[in-house]
């Protein structure tokens, strides 16, 4: 009787522990979803829909094509094939985009696609100077207000340039000599952000380097540190400078130097 009782106790306890752990996990998962379903968490889509009318980098005559392969009327289903540039519309630059030997899209660690959003607002500076480069002083001021930028953050530069989309001339802001003028990160600011061990950099312009850049030093620095970039993000005006979370979902393109990406911000109401 005593031996049998001890055996039962040993067998039941692990089952109870597993059930309890499963219940805890289920509760946490349901809690995370509840904020979205109940409207307590607002989701902001920071990506442009892909079509053939988006602002492309100068010199790319062929950017996007879609062909209908099947229609409901004729084939009983609707399907298309499409072709597009890797760096077009709202897209991700993988580390391999510039430095050789760095990660292509499918090799970026998935945990880097989730993180707190750090929004650096430089709209007043960008309005006064189209060639503005982010100053380290802006980062220092942000940290004075909010604390140090957390490890794994995804840092977004809010220039207000998205208000010019999709007007090609205004968005590229090309002068008579063919040189573009739009704001971006400075090398000094990028170095400071890399010291914070961020996961990604993003902007609401064509490039994280300013438009008049000739050799893309920020690209080389950031991608060389295995940090990805997000370019042509939609209007960032509704994001708080701290408190939002980002979900970055690029196309998992094997060997890709970059690719189309869907970026979502989750903001608690």
Nearest to 230, CA basis, from 251, 210, 189, 258: 258
Q: Residue 246: helix, strand or coil by DSSP?
A: strand
pLDDT at 14: 41
pLDDT at 200: 98
Q: Which residues of 112-143 are buried (b: 16+ CB within 10 A; e: fewer)?
A: bbebbbbbbbbbebbeeebbbbbeeebbeebe
CA-based torsion, 175, 179, 180, 186: positive or negative:
negative
Mean pLDDT of the chain: 90
Residue 2 has pLDDT above 80, yes or no: no
pLDDT at 170: 98
Confidence class of residue 17 from pLDDT cuts 50, 70 and 90?
very low
159-181 pLDDT, tens digit per residue, is 999 999 999 999 999 999 999 99
Pull the structure tokens for residue 42.
């607002």
Q: What would the mean pLDDT of 4-13 be, rounded to a whole number?
A: 39
Rounded-to-integer distance, Cα 27 and Cα 98, Å: 44
As to burial, measured by CB atoms within 10 angstroms (0-12 exposed, 13-18 middle, 19+ buried), residue 146 is middle
Residue 18 has pLDDT above 90, yes or no: no
Confidence class of residue 269 from pLDDT cuts 50, 70 and 90?
confident
pLDDT at 34: 65
Confidence class of residue 61 from pLDDT cuts 50, 70 and 90?
confident
Confidence class of residue 19 from pLDDT cuts 50, 70 and 90?
very low
Pull the structure tokens for residue 193.
């952000």
64-81 pLDDT, tens digit per residue, is 999 999 999 999 999 999
How many beta carbons lie within 10 A of that of residue 35, not counting itself? 15
pLDDT at 182: 98
Q: What would the mean pLDDT of 194-223 be, rounded to a whole number?
A: 98
Confidence class of residue 27 from pLDDT cuts 50, 70 and 90?
very low
Tell me if 129 sits within 8 A of 212, measured CB to CB.
no
Global pTM?
A: 0.87
Residue 141 has pLDDT above 90, yes or no: yes
Transcribe 84-126 into DSSP letters. E-SSSSSEEE-GGGSSTTS--GGGS-GGGGEEEEEEEE-HHHH
Residue 4 has pLDDT above 60, yes or no: no
Q: Which residues of 204-216 are buried (b: 16+ CB within 10 A; e: fewer)?
A: bbbbbbbbebeeb
Residue 135 has pLDDT above 70, yes or no: yes
Rounded-to-integer distance, Cα 164 and Cα 162, Å: 5
Q: What would the mean pLDDT of 81-87 be, rounded to a whole number?
A: 97
Q: What would the mean pLDDT of 10-35 be, rounded to a whole number?
A: 43
Nearest to 47, CA basis, from 267, 246, 269, 243: 246
Q: Are strands 133-134 and 184-185 parallel, antiparallel or unpaired?
A: parallel
pLDDT at 28: 38
Which DSSP symbol is given to 59? T
The runs of H, that is alpha helices, within the chain are 2-37, 72-75, 123-128, 136-146, 168-172, 187-195, 217-224
């Amino acid at each position: 009787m005593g031996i049998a009782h001890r055996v039962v106790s040993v067998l039941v306890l692990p089952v109870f522990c597993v059930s309890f752990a499963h219940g805890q996990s289920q509760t946490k998962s349901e809690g995370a979803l509840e904020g979205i379903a109940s409207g307590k968490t607002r989701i902001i889509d920071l990506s442009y829909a892909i079509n053939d009318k988006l602002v492309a980098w100068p010199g790319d005559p062929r950017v996007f094509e879609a062909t209908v392969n099947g229609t409901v009327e004729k084939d009983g289903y609707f399907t298309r094939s499409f072709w597009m540039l890797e760096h077009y519309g709202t897209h991700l630059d993988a580390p391999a985009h510039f430095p050789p030997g760095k990660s292509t899209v499918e090799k970026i660690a998935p945990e880097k696609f989730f993180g707190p959003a750090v929004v650096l607002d430089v709209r007043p500076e960008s309005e006064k100077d189209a060639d503005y480069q982010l100053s380290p002083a802006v980062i220092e001021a942000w940290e004075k207000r909010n604390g140090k930028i957390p490890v794994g953050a995804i840092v977004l530069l809010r220039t207000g340039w998205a208000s010019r989309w999709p007007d090609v001339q205004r968005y590229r802001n090309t002068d008579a000599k063919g040189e573009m003028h739009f704001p971006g990160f400075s090398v000094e600011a990028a170095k400071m952000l890399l010291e914070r061990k961020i996961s990604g950099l993003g902007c609401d312009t064509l490039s994280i380097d300013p438009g008049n850049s000739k050799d893309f030093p920020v690209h080389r620095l950031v991608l060389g540190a295995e940090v990805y970039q997000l370019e042509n993000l939609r209007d960032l005006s509704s994001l708080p400078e701290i408190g939002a979370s980002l979900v970055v979902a690029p196309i998992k393109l094997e060997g890709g130097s970059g690719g189309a990406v869907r970026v979502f911000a989750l903001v608690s109401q």
